């Protein structure tokens, strides 16, 4: 790339970054609507240190996220990552955007990870083409035949694009209801990209909070820029609401911080409010310990080690009724670090300095290449 193109590329990167920062800062209004008191100033020395620290990546640091995390958790730490800087800059340097388009496609998980880690797949549709569970191309007639021979409850969900985000498209179809959707109707609703999988019966510990949703753990992993070792940064239990199939917070789900030994926090979070028991089932969170927690962490770390182009990954992982670990979703580029900082302190913890130094050195380099010449 010539010097002129490099200069243009750098300017485009700066403009794109500013636009992304502006977009995410608009989200602060949403949080303030729930509790404006959380945004009151904290210790001025901590705020000053926070602004100076993160200004290495972006000159105009907004302390609103620091205030919200500190006031909510009562953990005051200058290393909290502002969500706008994380999503606009850090996330796009730690993770490779180009490869993410492949790796976040829900139809492709079993291409690079062990099939036994996922719910059984019956049928796929990818970019308008039908495939069986083993990725063999099949006709629409063959796909309809597979669909008509599913004799159990199943889940259908979009695999890419806006429909695939935040659990919006996830639907449960119960076999015993005798109201299983006509294949052509389902195909028309979901379009060119979807997957049909078995409905996994979850472990009783997770089901106690809300049986209608497959409640799972968001496990945030980080592959160190120094030695490529995989570390677990945060773990959060996500719990759905009554009659909901998905546990996403956008659908009213709750989040509960998990300590390193697998113990739940005494309260869960919903819309920046604390609940000591599930609002529907009334099950308390205090003194609850995740079963087979280390096994869940080990599986997630091994999976993260195989995704070599992404350093920051959010796995949604649960346990089935046989205590087998099941990965429900893999999140790379575009994953917010916001709700995982509300209870457990700064996102990167002891690795914050190395992440900041790495991102500062790589700011506007290959990860921000907008002109492919």
Question: pLDDT per position in the chain (373 positions), as tens?
Answer: 677 877 787 788 778 888 888 888 887 888 888 888 999 999 999 999 999 999 999 999 999 999 999 999 999 999 999 999 999 999 999 999 888 878 788 999 999 999 999 999 999 999 999 999 999 999 999 999 999 999 999 999 999 877 776 667 889 998 876 666 789 999 999 999 999 999 999 999 999 999 999 999 999 999 999 999 999 999 999 999 998 887 776 667 999 999 999 999 999 999 899 999 999 999 999 999 999 999 999 999 999 999 999 999 999 999 999 999 999 999 988 777 778 899 889 999 999 999 999 999 998 775 455 444 4
Q: In whole angstroms, what is the distance from residue 206 CA to residue 212 CA?
A: 11
pLDDT at 373: 40
Long-range pairs, 353-358, Cβ under 8 A, ≥24: 354/224, 354/225, 354/226, 355/90, 355/94, 355/222, 355/225, 356/53, 356/54, 356/56, 356/57, 358/93, 358/94, 358/225
Of 261, 268, 266, the closest CA to residue 239 belongs to 268
Strand order in the sheet with 268-270: 273-275, 268-270, 254-257, 230-239, 216-223, 312-319, 325-331
pLDDT at 258: 97
**Three-state secondary structure of 140-191:** HHHHHHHHHCCCCCEEEEECCCHHHHHHCCCEEECHHHCCCCCHHHHHHHHC
pLDDT at 299: 97
Kind and range of the H or E element at 19? helix 3-25
Q: In whole angstroms, what is the distance from residue 71 CA to residue 103 CA?
A: 36
User: Which 8-state DSSP code applies to residue 284?
Assistant: B
Contact (CB, 8 A) for 216 and 238: yes
Residues composing the chain: 373
- Phi/psi-derived region of residue 54, left when phi > 0, alpha when psi is between -120 and 50, beta in every other case: alpha
């Amino acid at each position: 790339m010539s010097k002129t193109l490099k200069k243009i590329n750098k300017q485009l990167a700066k403009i794109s970054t500013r636009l992304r920062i502006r977009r995410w800062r608009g989200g602060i209004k949403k949080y303030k609507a729930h509790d404006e008191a959380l945004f009151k100033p904290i210790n001025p020395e901590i705020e000053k240190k926070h602004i100076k620290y993160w200004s290495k990546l972006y000159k105009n640091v907004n302390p609103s996220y620091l205030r919200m995390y500190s006031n909510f958790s009562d953990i005051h730490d200058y290393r909290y990552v502002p969500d706008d800087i994380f999503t606009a800059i850090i996330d796009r340097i730690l993770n490779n955007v180009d490869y993410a388009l492949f790796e976040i496609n829900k139809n492709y998980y079993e291409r690079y990870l062990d099939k036994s880690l996922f719910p059984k797949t019956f049928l796929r549709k990818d970019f308008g083409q039908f495939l069986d569970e083993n990725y063999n191309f099949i006709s629409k007639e063959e796909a309809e035949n597979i669909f008509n021979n599913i004799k159990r409850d199943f889940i259908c969900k979009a695999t890419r694009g806006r429909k695939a985000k935040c659990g919006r498209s996830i639907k449960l179809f119960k076999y015993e209801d005798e109201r299983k959707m006509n294949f052509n109707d389902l195909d028309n609703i979901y379009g060119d990209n979807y997957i049909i999988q078995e409905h996994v019966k979850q472990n009783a510990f997770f089901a106690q909070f809300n049986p209608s949703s497959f409640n799972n753990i968001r496990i945030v992993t980080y592959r160190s820029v120094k030695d490529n070792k995989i570390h677990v940064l945060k773990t959060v239990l996500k719990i759905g609401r009554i009659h909901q199939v998905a546990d996403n917070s956008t659908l009213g789900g709750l989040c509960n911080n998990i300590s390193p030994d697998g113990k739940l926090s005494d309260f869960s979070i919903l819309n920046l409010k604390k609940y000591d028991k599930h609002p529907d089932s009334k099950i308390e969170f205090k003194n609850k310990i995740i079963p087979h927690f280390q096994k869940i962490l080990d599986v997630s770390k091994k999976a993260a080690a195989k995704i070599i182009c992404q350093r920051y990954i959010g796995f949604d992982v649960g346990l089935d009724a046989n205590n087998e670990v099941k990965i429900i979703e893999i999140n790379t580029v575009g994953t917010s670090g916001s709700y995982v900082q509300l209870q457990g302190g700064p996102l990167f913890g002891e690795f914050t300095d190395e992440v900041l130094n790495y991102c500062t050195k790589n700011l506007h380099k290959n990860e921000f290449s907008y002109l492919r010449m």
